[in-house]
Structure 1
Amino acid sequence: MLNWLILAAAIVAEVIGTTCLKMSGGLSRFWPVTGMIVFYGASFVGLALALRSIDMSVAYAIWSGLGVALITVVGVFGFGEAFTIARAVCIVLILLGVIGLNLAQS
């Protein structure tokens, strides 16, 4: 159970790191770049720790899939990016794939 919480924290750290990357202005702003490095580092450490007991395919699918879904929400609400039906369908497909891989693990 702890490794699932670590994976969840790694996903949140990845989303924060990606948000910092967006805010960095092409890596030209010190604090967002610093945040990006710290949070991406924390994300990879968390993913590595979660891989101790979660299958690699499942952990990576969850980490990347939920990261994409969450960063889409951040982009839409935080940066005014468009949210189209096509994007919504693709996010649902990603989430279905993550669920499918998780169910196939059993």
Structure 2
Amino acid sequence: MNNFVFLLIAIICEAAATTALKAADGFTQLVPSIITVIGYAAAFYFLSLTLKTIPVGIAYATWSGLGIVLIAGIGQFFLGQKLDLAGIIGLALIIAGVLVVNLVSKTGAH
């Protein structure tokens, strides 16, 4: 169970780093640039911890899929980036895919 907690922390760190990357404005803004570097370093560290027990393909699919959904949500609710119906359906399909891989597929680390 700790490995999925580590994976969740990795996803949150990556989303925070990506959000800060936009604010870093090409690494011309100091504080967002520092947050970006620290966030990505932490994300990869926690992802590496999950790889001790979760297969790399499953961990990366979960990390990237949920990261996409989280970043899209941050864009929608905090950055004024509006999703249309097709975007919402696409994100729902990503969530469905992550759930299938982690809950139904025998390739996951259950």
Class of the TM-score when normalised by the shorter of the 2 chains: over 0.9
- Provide structure 1 residue ranges, at least 5 long, that are not aligned to the other structure: none
TM-score where L is the length of structure 2: 0.92
TM-score where L is the length of structure 1: 0.95
AA aligned opposite 2:26: G
- Cross-structure match for 1:18: 18
- Cross-structure match for 1:48: 48
Identity %: 36
Aligned residues: 106
Q: 1:33 Cα shift? A: 0.6
- Cross-structure match for 1:78: 78
In structure 2, distance between residues paired with 1:31 and 1:15: 16
Q: 1:27 Cα shift? A: 1.6
AA aligned opposite 2:24: S
In structure 2, distance between residues paired with 1:78 and 1:28: 21
Question: Secondary structure, in 3 states, of the residue corresponding to 2:90?
Answer: helix
Q: 1:52 Cα shift? A: 0.4
AA aligned opposite 1:18: T
Which 4+ stretches in 1 moved above 3 angstroms?
none
Q: CA RMSD in A?
A: 1.0
In structure 2, distance between residues paired with 1:91 and 1:8: 18
Q: 1:14 Cα shift? A: 0.4
- Provide structure 2 residue ranges, at least 5 long, that are not aligned to the other structure: none
- Cross-structure match for 1:62: 62
In structure 2, distance between residues paired with 1:52 and 1:35: 26
AA aligned opposite 2:100: G
